[in-house]
Amino acid sequence: MSRYHLRLCLKLTVLIALSQSYQLKASNDGSGLSTAIAADLVGAFNLSKEDGGAKDSFDVRETEISFYAPIDHLFEGILSIAAHREGGEALYEVHEASISTSKLVSGLSFKLGQYFLGIGRLNRFHRHDWPFVSAPKVTNEFFGSEGVLDSGAEASYLFPSSVYINLTAGVTNGWTYGHSHNEGKKPKIPTHYARLSSFFEPADLGLATGLSYLSRTSAEEEKLQLIGFDGVAKIQSGSFPRFLLQTEAWHREVTPKTGDKSQSAGTYVYPQYGFSKSLSAGCRFDYFTVLSLKDANGSKIANSQYGFVPTLTYKSSEFASFRLAINHETTTQKNQDTTKKQYAELQSIFILGAHPAHDF
């Protein structure tokens, strides 16, 4: 066992011991504190002699411990701490620390704290709950490898109608956006976003869709705008989804203080078939392009990155799963050689303790 893994195990042991002591105390005073620990283990291995971009190693990609409970008769709280491997060391950070309520105003829920922003599909779920191993290209480019989180306030309102229509809107600090290793700077306009979503359930089909918008103007007066669509369709067969179709499509525009505007767009589509409650197979299709790419002469340059990722998932229960994915990525750009990458990913996820219920 490497020194990194030994230190990680020791830290997790301390955290588990602490959580168990809290749980004992909680069970004594009836506070209802729940604890969940999730471990996401991923290996990536090149399938060709050329560099496929994989590390050829198996690592603990992430571990997460979550505490959640009712705080009092009105509010609920969640604290989620995650460890990621960076520079060979376990880097601990708070993923979520928020207080929320849905009991003040009928149909209105409100959250204050640090959280993953309520836009799109993947960004609203922890990475270990995704139906595939790694982020699609468009998600990685626009939201980072595990999504965008920030501190602020978010409200969600369910309209009183016969049709399910929900509006989520939020404002967060926006000092940073995406992968950053410093505190960032106070933006000219903080990050603000909204998502309008709906849900339909004709017969055995469940269909959830959403339209999202996000914007931010950095301290350097660079304006970021994102607009996207997300959709999930499920056909249930008893207690498991016989068929799942998940997709997102996003457009991003970045306008610097001086210089040309940059526009990019991308999408993924993931159909999955459930053979049984334990076994499912899917194949994700990815596409990404920089729409505004020009050469030094000002001529537009056609470019694209596309890929398909066949994925096989085995779940012994909702608490343990194993996944195999084969990534085929192709990058094309005018005047340049087409590059291809092929690598395999192996994933194992396990959850200890209770896990919060998920959205559809």
Partner 1 sequence: MKRTLLASVIALFFSVAVGCSDDDDSSSSSSYNLNGVSYNAVDAGTLTHGTTSISGAGSIVFVDPNAGQGNHYSLSFTLEDAGSLTLTSNAANDLTAGISLMFSRSGTTLTAKIKNDSSEVDISSSFTDVDASGSLSFQSDFHNDESPTHILVWSGVTEFTEDNAKFNSEDGGEAPGQGAGNLWGLVLDKASVTAATVTEAKFEEE
The site for partner 1 (CB under 8 A) is made up of 53, 55, 59, 84-87, 141, 176-182, 184, 220, 222, 254, 256, 258-260, 262, 290, 293-299, 301, 303, 305, 331, 333, 335-336, 339
Nearer to partner 1 (CB atom), residue 77 or residue 184: 184
Q: Which residues pair with 228 in a beta bridge?
A: 212, 250
Which two tokens mark 98?
Answer: 């928020």
Nearer to partner 1 (CB atom), residue 28 or residue 297: 297
CB of 202 to partner 1, least distance (A): 41
Nearer to partner 1 (CB atom), residue 260 or residue 359: 260
11 three-class SS: helix
Q: Which residues pair with 197 in a beta bridge?
A: 166, 210
Which two tokens mark 338?
Answer: 């087409």
CB of 178 to partner 1, least distance (A): 7
CB of 161 to partner 1, least distance (A): 41
CB of 79 to partner 1, least distance (A): 24
Nearer to partner 1 (CB atom), residue 27 or residue 336: 336
The pair phi, psi for residue 16, each rounded to 5°, is -65, -45
Q: What distance in Å separates the CA atoms of residue 2 and residue 40, rounded to the nearest whole number?
A: 17
Which two tokens mark 195?
Answer: 């998502």
CB of 299 to partner 1, least distance (A): 6
Nearest to 62 by CA among 353, 350, 358: 350
Q: What distance in Å separates the CA atoms of residue 321 and residue 312, rounded to the nearest whole number?
A: 11
**Contacts (Cβ under 8 Å, ≥6 apart) of 145:** 127, 134, 135, 179
C-beta separation of 202 from 235 below 8 A: no
Nearer to partner 1 (CB atom), residue 184 or residue 231: 184
CB of 265 to partner 1, least distance (A): 13
Q: Which residues pair with 70 in a beta bridge?
A: 76
* Per-residue CA distances from 242 to 200, 271, 280 (Å): 17, 11, 8
Question: What is the CB neighbour count within 10 angstroms for residue 105?
Answer: 11
- Burial degree of 21 (CB within 10 A; 0-12, 13-18, 19+): exposed
Q: What distance in Å separates the CA atoms of residue 324 and residue 309, rounded to the nearest whole number?
A: 10
Nearer to partner 1 (CB atom), residue 202 or residue 298: 298
Do β-strands 108-116 and 57-70 pair in parallel, antiparallel, or remain unpaired? Answer: unpaired
Nearest to 52 by CA among 271, 323, 307: 307
CB of 54 to partner 1, least distance (A): 9
CB of 300 to partner 1, least distance (A): 9
Nearer to partner 1 (CB atom), residue 254 or residue 283: 254
Nearer to partner 1 (CB atom), residue 170 or residue 174: 174
Nearer to partner 1 (CB atom), residue 162 or residue 335: 335
CB of 347 to partner 1, least distance (A): 16
